[in-house]
Structure 1
Amino acid sequence: MTSDALDPLPFFVYGTLRPGERNHGLFLRGRTEREEAGRFAGAALYEGPGYPYAVEEPGGTVSGELVTASARSYAALLAELDRLEEYVPGDPRNLYERVARPVERPDGGTTRAWVYLAAPAVAARLRAGGRRITGGDWLERG
């Protein structure tokens, strides 16, 4: 376990957890201190079955929100988001991996945040034949 696994990092959300999307109210409403726009450089966004996958790829950028959980909600929210994303540390069957990555804030600075990226096998399939979301914004997928 890395030290990041114990740090209360914000979450970078780019799909169904964004404001106005179906999981935002179910998981985040009333449990956050701050939600602000964010951009994750070095990744591309691909369509999944009703939700997107971010895949690390040079030159791409994914748009989303940086979500800072309230201190009292953090531990439970982290566990719930891991379950939502079907992430279990070290499990080769994961669809997503939760990793700490730098995310750009609206003021141009960066902060480390938890990002759920496509797991390696999923990422390889998406790169080989997945449908990339042009522009990297789930809300503008058309």
Structure 2
Amino acid sequence: MTTRNRRHLPFFVYGTLRPGQPNHDLFLRGRTVSEEPGRLPDAVLYDGPGYPYAVEEPGGELSGELVTARPQTYDRLLLELDALEEYVPGDPRSLYVRVERDAVRRRDGAAVRAWVYLAGDVVAARLRTDGRRIEGGDWRARGQPGPTVP
């Protein structure tokens, strides 16, 4: 795999960037080659203030979409998504961290390497202690929102 191809990974989205959610049209409409259902193993979902946080946890699983960006829009989209997720590489105060995961699953079960935004370390620790977990790992099927973690 070349450096360029390694860097141009698809994104696994599980919250407000999914089709029908508020940030999908703002950030992804017209900028993708494909969007297909996917699953992320070994992660659980927590309710945030209007958006979810994924936290690594063995045995968990999230529902979402595997999104492949158009090559000509990729670099700008990556910067915009990092800003949306308040991710600053190397900053421990980041709300989310962008990580590479090898085991995102397509509908047919095939494993795909993709970028995933997970809760940053400080946020993840707080969620594990006081957060409201979304059972079933599907943001769209969460029901009524409960208390949020600041």
TM range (shorter): over 0.9
SS in 2 for 1:124: helix
Give, as a single letter, the amino acid of the residue that structure 1 aligns with 2:88: V
Quote the sequence identity (%).
69
The answer to whether the Cα contact below 8 Å between 1:4 and 1:100 also exists between their aligned partners in 2 is no
Shift of 1:5: 9.9
Aligned positions of 1:38-77 closer than 5 A = 38-77=38-77
The residue that corresponds to 2:118 in the other structure is: 117
Closer/same/farther in 2, CA of residues 32 and 59 from structure 1, 3 Å limit: same
Partners in 2 of 1:6 and 1:35 — Cα distance?
19
Partners in 1 of 2:106 and 2:74 — Cα distance?
20
Partners in 2 of 1:10 and 1:86 — Cα distance?
19
Aligned positions of 1:1-142 closer than 5 A = 7-101=7-101, 102-142=103-143
SS in 2 for 1:73: helix
Shift of 1:22: 0.2
Closer/same/farther in 2, CA of residues 81 and 5 from structure 1, 3 Å limit: farther
Closer/same/farther in 2, CA of residues 98 and 122 from structure 1, 3 Å limit: same
Q: CA-to-partner distance for each residue in 1:91-116, whole Å, 9 max, x for gaps?
A: 11100000001200111111110000
Moved over 4 A (4+): 3-6
Closer/same/farther in 2, CA of residues 118 and 5 from structure 1, 3 Å limit: farther
SS in 1 for 2:82: helix
The answer to whether the Cα contact below 8 Å between 1:43 and 1:60 also exists between their aligned partners in 2 is yes
SS in 2 for 1:17: coil
Q: CA-to-partner distance for each residue in 1:33-68, whole Å, 9 max, x for gaps?
A: 000000000000000000000000011101000000
SS in 2 for 1:83: helix
**TM-score scaled to structure 1, two decimals?**
0.96
**TM-score scaled to structure 2, two decimals?**
0.90
Aligned pairs, number: 140
The residue that corresponds to 2:147 in the other structure is: none
Shift of 1:6: 5.8
Partners in 2 of 1:81 and 1:104 — Cα distance?
21
RMSD: 1.4
Q: CA-to-partner distance for each residue in 1:71-102, whole Å, 9 max, x for gaps?
A: 00100000000000010100111000000012
